[in-house]
Amino acid sequence: MREFIVAIVGASGAVGEELIRILEEQNFPIRKLVPLASKRSVKKEISYKNQKIAIQETTHDIFKQEGVEIAFFSAGGSVSKEFAPSAAQAGAVVIDNTSYFRMQENIPLVVPEVNSEDIKLWKDSGIIANPNCSTIQMVQVLSPLHKKFNIKRVDVSTYQAVSGAGKKGMESLLKQTKQILQNEKIEDCGAFPYEIAFNLIPHIDVFLSDSYTKEEVKMIKESCKIMHSNFEISATCVRVPVLRSHSEAISIRFENEVSAKMIREVLSNAENVEVIDDIQNVKYPMPIIATNTDKTYVGRIRNDYFRKDTIHLFCVADQIRVGAATNAVRIAQKWIEILES
């Protein structure tokens, strides 16, 4: 099997570290791994398959110098804006975890379980965008239901873990929790606009002129692009004091009547989705179940009290894996399949 020269831009970050772990776990066909980050990380090393590899600075020339063929970007939108075109021009396929390219028309936005056929459009720009973490787990659940029952409207509320804000987000929660338990005053809210320990914050990313946050608009617009759909959808995104794995309460209205049993049946056969919905035995999805796994868990599936065409459910996934690194690696695996077909 052909092996590739693979770069990770943002190798010292939360998503970058997870990407390296997943590439190793999956025995991804790598000839050479090139970890990249900012100047700050240049003396650091990453571990990959019992080897230590030095992190290099991300520059415009590095992709050509190293002969990079696949470049995973997870270093923030401004880094992708500046360096992803250089990687693509050097002949690499860029798989970008940031929001920078997601809504650009000629750039495919891909969740392999939903729209892997869109990967073929990568040739236009050399770039494939990885969706927002909350969007990925939601469309994995919505897509099989839409195909079967035709969705008319979705309302989602998220409960997003602090690691969604990177390593600094996790550090902020841990530090503030200790401070509160030691009766110390919290002077610095870290990655968040307010204290996150023993609190929750209905504000992720910046506010837009229509009173939505950018995170909420990402969920709305990205879902329509990935699913090629135009059903109504609204989102409320909330940061909660959970270290890892995002949860979502989703209400879905369909074209016709559906039962919780019918929904459970479809989701039981959905790719990379696992139904945990056994209330007799008090079993349902939670962040502690999803963390460090590659599945999206769904439960609490029930009919609406008033409308027979409406279902409510709860879904949870590890947003650093399913919502970022695993999805990016799945895109790369599909891209290789297409290349070799």
Question: Which of 159, 178, 9, 149 lies closest to 78 in space, CA to CA?
Answer: 9
Q: Which member of 5, 21, 26, 38 binds ligand NAP (CB under 6 A)?
A: 38
Q: Which position among 41, 86, 176, 213 is part of the footprint of ligand NAP (CB under 6 A)?
A: 41
Residue 15 or 301 having the CB closest to ligand NAP = 15
How far is 315 from 295, CA to CA, in rounded Å? 10
Tokens standing for 324? Answer: 């970022």
Distance separating alpha carbons of residues 223 and 136, to the nearest angstrom: 8
Q: Which stretch binds ligand NAP (CB under 6 A): 84-92, 149-157, 159-167, 263-271?
A: 159-167
Least separation in angstroms between residue 1's CB and ligand NAP is 29
Q: Measured from the CB atom, is 251 or 293 closer to ligand NAP?
A: 293
Please say whether the beta carbons of 249 and 237 come within 8 A. no
Beta bridge partners of 162: none
Candidates 79, 110, 154, 156: give the one binding ligand NAP (CB under 6 A). Answer: 79
Q: Is 15 in the site for ligand NAP (CB under 6 A)?
A: yes
160 binds ligand NAP, rule: CB under 6 A: no
134 binds ligand NAP (CB under 6 A): no
Query: Within 13 Å, how many C-alpha atoms sit on residue 99's CB side?
Result: 13
- For residue 222 the two structure tokens come to 């990205």
Q: 125: which residues sit within 8 A by CB, 6+ positions away?
A: 88, 101, 104, 106, 107
37 binds ligand NAP (CB under 6 A): yes
Catalytic residue, chosen from 224, 246, 312, 315, is 246
Of 133, 146, 237, 315, the catalytic one is: 133
Considering the rule CB under 6 A, would residue 302 count as an interface residue with ligand NAP?
Answer: no
Q: Where are the beta strands (DSSP E) in 50-103?
A: 51-54, 56-57, 70-73, 93-96
Nearer to ligand NAP, 71 or 79 (CB): 79
What SS3 state is found at 173? Answer: helix
Distance CA 238, CA 215 (A): 10
Sole binder of ligand NAP in the list 92, 107, 242, 320 (CB under 6 A): 320
Adjacent-strand bridge partners of 65: none
- CB of 276 vs ligand NAP, minimal distance in Å: 22
Q: Judge whether 284 and 276 are in contact, CB under 8 Å.
A: yes
Instruction: Supply the residues annotated as catalytic.
Output: 133, 246
**What residues make contact with ligand NAP under the rule CB under 6 A?**
10-16, 37-38, 40-41, 58, 74-77, 79, 97-98, 133, 163-164, 166-168, 319-320, 323-324
